[in-house]
Amino acid sequence: MSMFPQDKCYETANTYAACIEFRFDENHRRAFNASQLIEFSLDPNPDAADDKNEPPQKITLVFSTADVVILGWRLGLIADYLRGNTLTAVCILPKRYAELERNAIYVSSITIKPVDK
Protein backbone atom coordinates (compact mmCIF):
# COMPACT_ATOMS: atom_id res chain seq x y z
CA MET A 1 0.00 0.00 0.00
CA SER A 2 1.36 3.39 -0.97
CA MET A 3 2.05 6.02 1.68
CA PHE A 4 1.19 8.78 -0.78
CA PRO A 5 -2.19 9.81 -2.17
CA GLN A 6 -3.41 8.08 -5.34
CA ASP A 7 -0.57 5.53 -5.32
CA LYS A 8 2.09 8.05 -6.31
CA CYS A 9 5.71 7.63 -5.31
CA TYR A 10 6.38 11.32 -4.74
CA GLU A 11 4.99 14.40 -3.00
CA THR A 12 5.46 18.03 -3.95
CA ALA A 13 4.98 21.38 -2.26
CA ASN A 14 3.06 24.31 -3.68
CA THR A 15 6.02 26.52 -2.82
CA TYR A 16 9.60 26.03 -1.66
CA ALA A 17 10.44 22.58 -0.21
CA ALA A 18 12.59 22.90 2.91
CA CYS A 19 13.72 19.27 2.80
CA ILE A 20 13.53 16.17 0.63
CA GLU A 21 12.47 13.01 2.43
CA PHE A 22 13.16 9.47 1.23
CA ARG A 23 10.72 6.86 2.55
CA PHE A 24 11.69 3.20 2.43
CA ASP A 25 8.61 1.98 4.31
CA GLU A 26 6.29 3.23 7.02
CA ASN A 27 8.99 2.99 9.68
CA HIS A 28 12.12 4.09 7.79
CA ARG A 29 12.60 7.62 6.49
CA ARG A 30 15.61 9.81 5.85
CA ALA A 31 15.53 13.49 4.89
CA PHE A 32 18.05 16.04 3.73
CA ASN A 33 17.68 19.78 3.87
CA ALA A 34 17.08 21.01 0.33
CA SER A 35 19.87 23.56 0.77
CA GLN A 36 22.34 20.63 1.03
CA LEU A 37 21.58 19.55 -2.55
CA ILE A 38 24.70 20.30 -4.58
CA GLU A 39 23.64 18.79 -7.90
CA PHE A 40 21.52 16.09 -9.51
CA SER A 41 21.64 14.19 -12.77
CA LEU A 42 19.10 12.13 -14.70
CA ASP A 43 20.77 9.41 -16.77
CA PRO A 44 20.01 6.08 -18.38
CA ASN A 45 20.55 3.23 -15.92
CA PRO A 46 23.73 1.52 -17.18
CA ASP A 47 22.67 -1.76 -15.55
CA ALA A 48 19.43 -1.91 -17.56
CA ALA A 49 20.85 -2.25 -21.10
CA ASP A 50 18.07 -4.00 -23.05
CA ASP A 51 16.54 -5.75 -20.02
CA LYS A 52 12.90 -4.54 -19.85
CA ASN A 53 12.63 -5.73 -16.23
CA GLU A 54 15.37 -3.38 -15.03
CA PRO A 55 14.56 0.28 -14.39
CA PRO A 56 15.73 2.28 -17.42
CA GLN A 57 16.46 5.55 -15.60
CA LYS A 58 18.62 6.73 -12.72
CA ILE A 59 18.60 10.02 -10.82
CA THR A 60 21.64 10.75 -8.70
CA LEU A 61 21.31 13.47 -6.06
CA VAL A 62 24.53 14.76 -4.52
CA PHE A 63 24.02 16.19 -1.05
CA SER A 64 26.83 17.53 1.12
CA THR A 65 26.67 14.45 3.41
CA ALA A 66 25.44 11.64 1.13
CA ASP A 67 24.66 10.56 -2.42
CA VAL A 68 21.15 9.32 -3.20
CA VAL A 69 20.45 7.10 -6.21
CA ILE A 70 16.88 6.60 -7.37
CA LEU A 71 16.08 3.96 -10.00
CA GLY A 72 12.82 3.79 -11.87
CA TRP A 73 10.67 4.56 -14.87
CA ARG A 74 9.61 8.00 -16.20
CA LEU A 75 11.74 9.92 -13.69
CA GLY A 76 11.94 13.14 -15.74
CA LEU A 77 9.14 14.71 -13.73
CA ILE A 78 11.07 14.14 -10.49
CA ALA A 79 14.01 15.96 -12.10
CA ASP A 80 11.64 18.83 -12.98
CA TYR A 81 10.42 19.03 -9.38
CA LEU A 82 14.03 19.04 -8.14
CA ARG A 83 14.85 21.89 -10.52
CA GLY A 84 11.84 23.85 -9.25
CA ASN A 85 12.70 23.05 -5.61
CA THR A 86 9.22 21.63 -4.96
CA LEU A 87 10.00 17.92 -4.41
CA THR A 88 9.27 17.07 -0.76
CA ALA A 89 9.31 13.25 -0.64
CA VAL A 90 10.00 10.10 -2.67
CA CYS A 91 9.06 6.52 -1.84
CA ILE A 92 9.38 3.08 -3.39
CA LEU A 93 6.22 1.56 -4.80
CA PRO A 94 5.54 -2.18 -5.04
CA LYS A 95 6.12 -3.62 -8.53
CA ARG A 96 2.37 -4.14 -9.06
CA TYR A 97 1.98 -0.35 -9.41
CA ALA A 98 4.61 -0.04 -12.15
CA GLU A 99 2.26 -0.25 -15.10
CA LEU A 100 -1.07 0.92 -13.65
CA GLU A 101 -0.69 4.22 -15.46
CA ARG A 102 1.63 4.17 -18.46
CA ASN A 103 2.73 7.78 -17.91
CA ALA A 104 3.08 7.69 -14.11
CA ILE A 105 6.42 7.88 -12.32
CA TYR A 106 7.49 4.61 -10.75
CA VAL A 107 10.41 4.36 -8.29
CA SER A 108 11.78 0.85 -7.79
CA SER A 109 14.72 1.59 -5.47
CA ILE A 110 16.35 4.31 -3.41
CA THR A 111 19.94 3.94 -2.20
CA ILE A 112 21.64 6.36 0.17
CA LYS A 113 25.42 6.24 0.45
CA PRO A 114 27.07 8.50 3.05
CA VAL A 115 30.02 10.55 1.84
CA ASP A 116 33.31 9.29 3.27
CA LYS A 117 34.84 11.75 5.66
Question: Mind listing the pLDDT tens digit for each residue in 43-81?
Answer: 999 988 888 788 999 999 999 999 999 999 999 999 999
What's the confidence (pLDDT) of residue 100? 65
| Cβ atoms of 69 and 62 closer than 8 Å | no
Give the end-to-end CA distance of the chain in Å, rounded to a whole number.
37
Provide the residue range defining the domain that includes 80.
5-114
What's the confidence (pLDDT) of residue 94? 75
pTM for the full predicted model: 0.88
3-state class of 83 per DSSP?
helix
Residues in contact with 69: Cβ distance below 8 Å, sequence separation at least 6, in sequence order: 58, 59, 60, 61, 109, 110, 111, 113
Q: What percent of the chain has pLDDT over 90?
A: 65
Mean pLDDT score, 75-104: 85
What's the rounded Cα separation, in Å, for the pair 89 and 102? 21
> Could you give the number of structural domains in the chain?
1
Mean pLDDT score, 11-34: 93
